[in-house]
Amino acid sequence: MTSQRRSKITPERELELYEAALDLLRESGYEALTMEGVAARSRCGKSTLYRQWGTKPQLVAAALRGTRCVKLADVDTGSLVGDLRAAARAAVAGAGRDTALMHALSHAAFQNPELLRALRENLIEPEVAAINAMVERAVTRGEIAADNPAAEFVAAQLMGVMRARPMVEGRQADEAYLHRFLEAAVFPALGLRATSRVTSHP
Amino acid sequence: MTSQRRSKITPERELELYEAALDLLRESGYEALTMEGVAARSRCGKSTLYRQWGTKPQLVAAALRGTRCVKLADVDTGSLVGDLRAAARAAVAGAGRDTALMHALSHAAFQNPELLRALRENLIEPEVAAINAMVERAVTRGEIAADNPAAEFVAAQLMGVMRARPMVEGRQADEAYLHRFLEAAVFPALGLRATSRVTSHP
C-alpha cells in the first residue's frame, strides 16, 4: 500500500522536492525548516509530503540520501582494492559537496534524537553495509580469508580517518590522503598487495 | 612574568578551581557558565581567574586538560606496541569519564570558534603530539623505519575509530575493541609483530 502511494511521485519530482528541502535547510537551518515551507517552495501539497516521508527528519534524511552522486552500494569493481578506492573517492565527493549543511545537521542531530536516527538509518548504515559487502565479496572471491582480523575494522577505519584528519592536522581528508591511507594502512593489514596504481585489468 | 603570576596558585588550588568549573558546566551547560559563577563557587577572586586563564574558553579547556587522569605525554613504556596499548587505555578512560559533558562541549564548540580553538590546542593537539612522539621514539629505537608509510596515520587512526565505532556499530569503542584494532590493523601495517599479550619484558 505504501509502495502504491509512493509510486504517485516520479523520480524527477522527488528530486525537485529534495532540492527544495535542502535549499531551505541551507538558507535557514534545521530548526526553521517546516513541511509547510518545503510544500510552498516545491509547489506540492503538504499532505503529499506527510504521506510520502512522514516527518521532517525523515524528509531531510531522504533528501540527503536521494541527492548523492555516487551510492556506495552501486560500487562493484571486481576487487577489494578497487572497491575501497572507489569508496574513498565517493566519501570525499559526498563530504565536500556541502560542508556547511553537514555541520548544521550534525549540530541539530545532537539535540534531536529522531533526526539522529533518521540520518543514521538513511546515510550511515547503508554506507557501512556497502563497505561490509565489499569485504564479503572479497572473501567469496578468495582475496582475503573469512577470518581476516582486519576485516572487522575497514568501515570504521575509513569513516574514522575522514573525521579525524581535520582534528589531527586541521585539514580535510582529500582523495590523495585517503588513497595514501588505504595503501599504507588498510591494504597491508588486510594482506592485500599495496600497489601504487590500479591497472586497467582487474 | 606570566609564570610568576601563575605560581601564586598552588596545584591543589588549581584543581579545586577546575572541579568547580566542570561542576558548573555539568549543571547548566557552557552558555550559562560565567567567570563570576566559577569565582563564586570556588571562593576565588574574579580577577585571579581572568589573570590566570584569560577567557572562559581557556578556563574550560584548561580544566578539562588539568583533570585528566593519564596524560599521554607521560606514557613511555619502552616499545611502540606498549605505548599504543597504553594510549588506547587512556583514550577509553578519558572518553568514558564524562560523556554528557563532552557532548555538551562538542555542541558548544560548533557555535563558538574560540572554544573550538581552545579545545584543539589544549586537548587534541597535545594528544596528537604525544602519539607522534611515540612513533618517533620507535624510529629512534629502530623498531620501525623512518619512512614507514603507515606512521603518518597512527594518530588519525586511533582518534578516528574511537569516534567512528558509535556511528558504525552503535556502541562506544571500549578497551577490548581498541586493543583488537591495534593488533589487527595498526601493528601489522607498521610491520610490528602482533602479539596477543604484552610480556613483562620489553
Question: Tell me, what's the pLDDT at A97?
Answer: 60
One domain, residues A53 and A84: no
Lowest mean pLDDT among A6-10, A52-56, A104-108, B75-79: A6-10
Same domain assignment for residues A85 and A118: yes
Do both A107 and A185 map to the same domain? yes
Tell whether A47 is covered by a domain.
yes
What domain range is B175 assigned to?
72-190
Same domain, B37 and B128: no
User: What per-residue confidence (pLDDT) applies to A198?
Assistant: 45
- Averaged pLDDT for residues A1-9: 53
Q: Which residues of A touch B155 (CB under 8 A)?
A: 164, 168
Task: Judge whether A20 lies within some domain.
Answer: yes
ipTM: 0.79
CB contact under 8 A, A107 and B107: yes
Q: Hey, what's the cell of A183?
A: 595503501
Answer yes or no: do B160 and A155 touch at CB < 8 A.
no
Instruction: For residue B183, report the phi and psi dihedrals to the nearest 5 degrees.
Output: -65, -40
What DSSP letter does each residue of B151-201 carry, written as one string?
A: GGGHHHHHHHHHHHHHHHHSS---HHHHHHHIIIIIHHHHT----SS--S-
* Residue B201 within a domain: no
* B160–A162 CB contact, under 8 Å: yes
Scan for cell 547503508, then name that residue. Answer: A126
B90 and B41 within one domain: no
Do A60 and A85 lie in one domain? The reply is: no
Residues of A whose CB is below 8 A from B106: 110
Q: What is the pLDDT of residue A7?
A: 52
Nearest residue to A80 (alpha-carbon basis) of A185, A192, A200: A192
Contact at CB, B164 and A163, closer than 8 angstroms: yes
pLDDT tens column, A83-93: 999 999 988 87
Residue in this structure with the C-alpha cell 566542570, named with its chain if needed? B22
Last residue of a domain, one of A66, A86, A106: A66
Residue A4 has pLDDT above 60, yes or no: no
Q: Does a structural domain hold residue B133? A: yes
Asked whether residue A40 is domain-assigned, the answer is yes
Domain boundary among B47, B66, B85: B66
* Residues B22 and B80 occupy one common structural domain: no
CATH number at A34 reads 1.10.10.60
Are A87 and A180 members of one domain?
yes
Rounded Cα distance, A122 and A182, in Å: 26
Q: Residue A164 and residue B167: Cβ atoms within 8 Å?
A: no
Q: Work out the angle at residue B181's Cα, subtended by the Cα atoms of residues A194 and A85, and round it to the nearest 5 degrees.
A: 35
Q: Tens digit of pLDDT per residue, chain B (202 long)?
A: 444 444 578 889 999 999 999 999 888 889 899 999 999 999 988 898 999 999 999 999 999 888 887 788 999 999 999 999 999 998 887 766 666 677 678 778 877 889 989 988 988 899 999 999 999 999 999 999 999 999 999 999 999 998 888 888 888 889 999 999 999 999 999 999 755 444 444 4
Cβ distance B49 to B35 under 8 Å? yes
> Do A76 and A157 share a domain, yes or no?
yes
Whether residue A49 is found in the same domain as residue A146: no
Cα–Cα distance measured from residue B190 to residue B186, given in angstroms and rounded to the nearest whole number: 6
At residue A3, does pLDDT exceed 50? no
Indicate whether A197 belongs to any domain: no
Considering only CA atoms, which of B118, B72, B129 is closest in space to residue B95? B72
| Whole-angstrom distance, CA of residue B63 vs CA of residue A62 | 41
- Packing angle between helix A11-32 and helix A99-111, nearest 10 degrees? 60
H-run or E-run covering A143: none
The total domain count for chain B is 2
Number of CB pairs, chain A paired with chain B, less than 8 A apart: 105
Q: Is B62 helix (H, G, I), strand (E, B) or coil?
A: helix
pLDDT of residue B195: 54
**What pLDDT sits at residue A195?**
54
Higher pLDDT, A148 or A102: A148
CATH label of the domain that carries residue A150? 1.10.357.10
**Residue B200 covered by a domain:** no
Domain membership of residue A128 (yes or no) is: yes
Residue B100: its pLDDT value, please? 67
Claim to verify: residue A172 and residue A90 sit in the same structural domain: yes
Nearest to A33 by CA among A132, A91, A104: A104
pLDDT tens profile A16-68: 999 999 999 888 889 899 999 999 999 988 998 999 999 999 999 999 888 88
Q: Which of A66, A84, A119 is the endpoint of a domain? A: A66
A12 with A32, same domain?
yes
Task: Give chain A's mean pLDDT.
Answer: 86
Using alpha carbons only, how large is chain B's radius of gyration in Å? 19
Q: Using a CB-CB distance cutoff of 8 angstroms, which residues of chain A are in contact with residue B107?
A: 107, 110-111
B28 Cβ partners below 8 Å, 6+ apart? Answer: none
